Structure 1
């Protein structure tokens, strides 16, 4: 035992970290899978700096320990190591030298003790956009454990390395082993059967079918909150105002507006979701009762059937009016309601019979740029909805005729893996044949990850770990694993095109043809996978800026010729999905026409975000009409 090491632990003065260059490492070919989700070369100095920062030991002791760790790892002859493994070896060396008190400070409890202390005292990173509270602290700690479990136990190293190298991005690794992503619900099921928020009634009280409109609204909020416990992403209802219209019969406008307030305030104030957040929720609003529901039996108070939804057209429109008024007014402090998100469904005849609701939609758009617009294109299924502000889910494809008739239309997205298109352009050196080979092989890799998620969810259902989603329906479970969507996402199409053609997506028609050809190739290949497997693989343009930022930063480290944009924080990023870059000097309709070319082939969803400057409401209305004439499937405005 080295007595020098033991005696030196008594030092209590803080030490500064060293910036002196270290001798060449014995592990020059070893890569480290870091907790930040990237691969790095082994760097002994990081062990030294970490020991000094977290335990306050002297530089000399830290250097001696790091030397021994390097020697030990060299004996293992490993190509890849993880940050947790390095920390374990360091702790063993500390124990070998009798430095138990130092080892306690340096041990790992899912995350380093030092990081937990920083999290408790300083709160979450600003980029997470969640409040500093006990639940958010607990969530972040749990997220790290969940993520590490997924990459160590559930996903094989070769696929983990693909994620860390930026080949693709596996979404929500923290929830990969435990829960599906998003889900849409048929409100009729709960209006007819009541509610068990725990899925069984064993741990919570149960309620029967709502007999009055206030209770119906409260049940709707509880459904979304309960489902949030079992899912990693958003929850939503389709045809919200239509399905609740029978509960508004005989009520005056003031009472209907109060019902709208109950729902909206509850959804924006239930601060109980993952990590002390409000429930990520959305509702689809119908301008009129859609054809698919006009002749469908209507559920009325008490869970009974009375007439069809076509009989409640007036109530559906007045309830829509009340909902829009509440959103326009904002909360007590005149702030915008962030949740639930609202999707306004535009049918083929939505512009023929205009009423006061269109004016309110325009006012809400001008004030907050808030509503999302679903354009029900000819290539849509009848019961199509959007989840998490981006993902298209044709619910009737996931449901039987029994479901459509009996109020059990439901479904969602199990998992998303987003391909890094610019990376494919770099690796393929702009050669079409090589690019197609890479596209196909990376879709195959993404498919493997998606199937791993499907298998994990199947085991969780068997083990009773998804109680709300296990409720029995006609001999099946509420969540049917085999029918959920498995999304292969894309991002960075603009930079993909620019690397190959030297012009941005909006600058050249040849680039747009290349983009369309690429999207079609991916869509066709995914269709083949869907047909051969019987599973719902789908292509989506992923709007996530976090994903675009991460992939751009990784590529900049690995490719000298990487093409990126600069985001609002002054950091590199890619243009999300197949969107036109934000700085393009285009009018909203011009942007929509370019992007809409690709929407038809994104059977997993695509969102266009269009710039808008406040102006005349009539001009805005005419703009929406023109946008709806394109092949665009989903769009929102953003204040320019």
Structure 2
């Protein structure tokens, strides 16, 4: 009866409508994109029929709209006319029409589509596993909210946020976590474009870094949403720090030690498969091998989140140098150094983070190992190539000493020199002294002490400090090559002290924090296995080498890191790491972490370790969070502009201690941090004497347990006159320039540009900048 009355009502108007129809079919409609098209009765009828209107109503509504239309009417106006007419027939049909024709959605697929409530229902069911009943309930509530909006276009993020709001209002927080959209505010992107970021000192400000940071932010959010609440909360609140969150899901493996022999024997597929790139056979010339070395590092960087290194590099290259003059060897080495410093194509447009572990001669344990030469063929044993091994090391050092064409230091690769008992002889004195000239000039070289009792045949480092030893299976090759540090999580030690009233409390909190770290590390390893085996996401690492994947994940390390032992001791013991009694408690803390690592080795069959965290940003982040939370109870370095904690188990950088005392304090922790450690000797502004440094190296090597160290120099470089100066200078001593003087220093493990003298606004975060100002120079 009701529908008949509506029909009669419309029919009574029909005569008036027909009389008023335009005599010419010339009415033009302006579409949303500005294009004109002819008015179409058929389109209106069809649009009404598609939402369920009866045919008779559809035809009459079309006729009525035609009487009102004028030349130049917009499609939006026509839709509102149709909507008003449909309301007189059936309100639900009218709302459906409005949703389909008035509410347009700009989708994430870069299309504009009619709003469809069923799509919300479908995505809720697919993405969150919600029941159909719940999905319909939420979608209906969303539709009611959207009807109230007066916008020309809806967007997919806008709709999703309203859906999330309704999920929360209805108590479906678990579903909300699965359904949420990841992204970054417009303001943040604008700021990145204008100012860049200081989270990573190795990245400059350019379009690729903007892309990387935007992607990183979304991936960090994804990782935190994927983690159990307790783990995500522990990170965000600052109990622990989960490093490289942006790589947690898609690139979860941290550091890598290469085995150059694999590529000498089998050639190179930079994509891991050869499906998308050219394939290179086994190299036959040293120049080809140098090129391959750089390409290996660049290709692997696409699969790794951290640093990568090559151990025994000059030993493995030595067969290719046989018969070459020293000048030819030096030219080949120069090509590699420049390649590694100019391959400006790694993550976010940076050069690959690379290190070379160099030997002064062929180590005794390697002398009878088969030597692979040109074409991948066995050409004797490595002991046959001692002359070439020494020549390659010397050439590498001499090229680094020259600097680039302007006289600036080559910042990569980190160059790590192995000090073994067989090289502490007079015949190697000239070679070792040359390395100390490099240390005196640029402060870029590192030293590895292979004499302490905790050493075996092999120990290698992968950049900032992460390390592998032949203490896992006892096989130096399996333990130290084609594997690395899978991941590490850092414990906030000062916070443990702030929450503790006794020694027992400290160790109970330590158990709790380590428990959180264990869960994170096991989840990261699980994700790493998925990326390696299930998702085929890391093809370079999974490429076949002699029937096995190149990367041996079973030999990789899972590591506990820590920050702020000094501040923990100040809070809990009333004295810092320089105090003998307080330091004893600090050693007990690190031993306790090691004890748990050893237990986990037995429980899981995996390789657990403890390391001194390379806390480029973590020491600053923890201190700022704790100062906000604990106020004056928090004991920090720095000041209110930038607080920071002392890194790992180091002596504070501003401590008034002599270098021998600093060595005595910090050497105790190196045998306890075999996942990675470093000793910093920050040199003063005067030019260091290579012979004095060499004497100090001899004492450290023979008389201490320091395993890894560097003589770090602050440098200034004038971009105008190309003068290199010691110390952080405000102006050039040669030409007087003030605005174009660059500063360089070691940030945590590697030397990097700080910024310009007037701004000091390079990639260093405020905490590291404050630490730089606080450093006491020896």
Quickly name the TM-score band, shorter chain normalised: 0.7 to 0.9
Alignment of 1:633 onto 2:707: yes
Q: 1:638 to 1:413 in 2, by over 3 A?
A: same
What pairs with 1:362-377 in structure 2 (closer than 5 Å)?
362-376=436-450, 377=452
Q: 1:94 to 1:467 in 2, by over 3 A?
A: same
> 1:562 Cα deviation (Å)?
0.5
Q: Return the TM-score normalized by structure 2.
A: 0.67
In structure 2, C-alpha distance between the alignment counterparts of 1:187 and 1:95, rounded to whole Å? 64
Structure 1 residue aligned with 2:580: 509
Contact kept in structure 2, 1:123 and 1:137, CA below 8 Å? no
After superposition, the C-alpha distances for 1:196-249 in whole angstroms (9 at most, x for unaligned) are: 111110011111111011001111111111110000011110011111111111
Structure 2 residue aligned with 1:4: none
> 1:141 Cα deviation (Å)?
1.1
SS of aligned partner of 1:623: helix
What pairs with 1:198-597 in structure 2 (closer than 5 Å)?
198-353=271-426, 354-376=428-450, 377-394=452-469, 397=472, 409-429=481-501, 431-461=502-532, 462-506=534-578, 508-560=579-631, 561-566=633-638, 570-597=641-668
Structure 1 residues 590-599 or 271-280, which shifts more? 590-599
SS of aligned partner of 1:500: helix
> 1:105 Cα deviation (Å)?
10
Alignment of 1:118 onto 2:170: no
SS of aligned partner of 1:230: coil
**Unmatched 5+ stretches in structure 2:** 1-140, 162-180, 714-776
Q: 1:378 to 1:92 in 2, by over 3 A?
A: farther
What pairs with 1:61-76 in structure 2 (closer than 5 Å)?
none
Structure 1 residue aligned with 2:174: none
Structure 2 residue aligned with 1:36: none
Structure 2 residue aligned with 1:131: 204
What pairs with 1:191-202 in structure 2 (closer than 5 Å)?
191-202=264-275
SS of aligned partner of 1:349: helix
**Unmatched 5+ stretches in structure 1:** 1-88
Structure 1 residues 167-176 or 137-146, which shifts more? 137-146
> 1:101 Cα deviation (Å)?
6.7
Structure 2 residue aligned with 1:82: none
SS of aligned partner of 2:302: helix
Contact kept in structure 2, 1:487 and 1:538, CA below 8 Å? yes
Contact kept in structure 1, 2:439 and 2:712, CA below 8 Å? no
After superposition, the C-alpha distances for 1:617-636 in whole angstroms (9 at most, x for unaligned) are: 22211111111221111111
> 1:428 Cα deviation (Å)?
1.4
> 1:335 Cα deviation (Å)?
0.7
Q: 1:315 to 1:90 in 2, by over 3 A?
A: farther
Q: 1:402 to 1:625 in 2, by over 3 A?
A: closer
In structure 2, C-alpha distance between the alignment counterparts of 1:472 and 1:535, rounded to whole Å? 23
In structure 2, C-alpha distance between the alignment counterparts of 1:94 and 1:268, rounded to whole Å? 54
Q: Quote the RMSD (CA, aligned, Å).
A: 2.3
Q: 1:532 to 1:403 in 2, by over 3 A?
A: closer
After superposition, the C-alpha distances for 1:134-193 in whole angstroms (9 at most, x for unaligned) are: 21111111111111111112x111100000111010000000011211101110110111
Q: 1:556 to 1:307 in 2, by over 3 A?
A: same
Contact kept in structure 1, 2:597 and 2:610, CA below 8 Å? yes
Q: Which has the larger radius of gyration?
A: 2
SS of aligned partner of 1:397: coil
Contact kept in structure 2, 1:95 and 1:103, CA below 8 Å? no
